[in-house]
Amino acid sequence: MTAPGVREWLVGHGRRLELGARARLMAIVNVTPDSFSDGGRHATVGRAVDHALSCVEEGADIIDVGGESTRPGATAVSPAEEQDRVLPVIERLARESDTLISIDTYRAETARLAIAAGAHIVNDVYGLQKDPQIADIAMDTGAGLCVMHTGRGRQKLDDVIADQFDYLLASLEIAAAAGVSRHSIVLDPGFGFAKDTEEENYALMARFSELGNFGLPLLVGTSRKRFLATDTGRKAPERDPATAASSVILRLQGAAIFRVHNIPFNRDALAVADAMLARRPQPHAEEPEC
């Protein structure tokens, strides 16, 4: 039995992750030459695995492995090239660590092969709407799903939260049609993904608690995003303090999982947030009328 406010996220290979009691950290491992912050640093199997294992030592609960940059304007890679980059990394991580592994992909075939190689979670930046077969693969394998909101390639609604519900409810319908359990799903509002101004990103952050109405765990990825430079003036590798600040803000509004580049910065900031949340007075149940 889990405590109030705590739930279990069901993921692949019979695993599960408790969410709610403390913030969970998802480490970004980009096996790419062109990601916006760390492109090329982990582009070989050995360097990617070493970095991933160091993130585990620092406190990462999940390793998110990606083989194609999702930054604006990035060049798409072929499915074969994506798979050549990520599958050897996943295979080695599955052998050398029992940490949960996520595959960052919007392609069903890459997702299928990654799960077979040892991945537990599929992190889809198009929220099942570019390749709906990802939902079928999750159903067949029991993999967890990170379903992300994006504004790319479509007309958004003017209200930032209304657009979240418009898009993500459609994604959840795809998952439900495939038979995916809601206990296997977390939602990601997609900070920086066709949120075209800092105003839109900060409005989403300010109203983040409204996404709790989905009744599902929430994952966030603000790490080193461009909108964090608006008030700091920092270049991408220098935005870890701003990232940690945004992580705390979102944790206090209900976020459960934090996808970040710098584990120690965010681990420590979120530990302070969790310590405060654990001591926050709980609302008293109303006394029954006599």
Summarised one tens digit per residue, pLDDT across range 193-219 is 988 788 999 999 999 999 999 999 999
In a domain, 287, yes or no: no
Mean pLDDT of 223-229: 93
Predicted local distance difference test score (pLDDT) of residue 191 = 96
Q: Can you say how many angstroms the Cα of residue 54 is from the centroid of all Cα atoms in its chain?
A: 19
Q: Give the count of alpha carbons within 13 A of 195, CB side only.
A: 26
For residues 79, 81, 87, 93, the Cα torsion angle rounded to the nearest 10 degrees is -130
Predicted local distance difference test score (pLDDT) of residue 36 = 46
Strands 7-10 and 16-19, sheet pairing: antiparallel
One of 224, 239, 251, 259 is an active-site residue; which one?
A: 259
Using pLDDT thresholds of 50, 70 and 90, give the confidence band for residue 237: confident
One of 225, 239, 251, 267 is an active-site residue; which one?
A: 225
Rounded-to-integer distance, Cα 1 and Cα 4, Å: 9
Q: Would you say residue 256 has pLDDT above 60?
A: yes
Q: What is the pTM of this model?
A: 0.92
Predicted local distance difference test score (pLDDT) of residue 153 = 86
In a domain, 33, yes or no: yes
Give the 3-state secondary structure percentages of the chain, helix then strand then coil, rounded to 5: 45, 15, 40
In a domain, 64, yes or no: yes
Q: What angle do CA 250, 205, 225 make, to 5 degrees?
A: 90
Tokens 């067949």 sit at which residue? 140
Q: Can you say how many angstroms the Cα of residue 288 is from the centroid of all Cα atoms in its chain?
A: 42
CATH number for position 13: 3.20.20.20
In a domain, 288, yes or no: no
In a domain, 284, yes or no: no
Structure-block tokens of residue 213: 């109405």
In a domain, 120, yes or no: yes
DSSP string, 51-76: HHHHHHHHT-SEEEEESS--STTPPP
Strands (E), the chain: 7-10, 16-19, 24-30, 62-66, 100-104, 121-124, 144-148, 185-188, 219-220, 257-260
Boundaries of domain holding 60: 7-276
Q: Which CB contacts under 8 angstroms, 24+ apart, belong to 13-22?
A: 13/118, 13/120, 13/142, 14/142, 15/100, 15/120, 17/61, 17/62, 17/100, 17/144, 19/186, 19/217, 19/256, 19/257, 20/217, 20/256, 22/270, 22/274
Maximum separation of any 2 CA atoms in the chain, in Å: 70
Q: Is 225 a catalytic residue?
A: yes
Tokens 């405060």 sit at which residue? 276
For the chain, the average pLDDT equals 92
Q: What total number of domains does the chain contain? A: 1
Predicted local distance difference test score (pLDDT) of residue 41 = 61
Mean pLDDT of 17-34: 92
Using pLDDT thresholds of 50, 70 and 90, give the confidence band for residue 6: confident
Condensed to tens digits (0 to 9), the pLDDT of residues 63-107 reads 999 999 876 666 788 999 999 999 999 999 999 999 999 999 999
In a domain, 143, yes or no: yes
**Hey, how many other C-beta atoms are within 10 angstroms of the C-beta on 279?**
7
In a domain, 283, yes or no: no
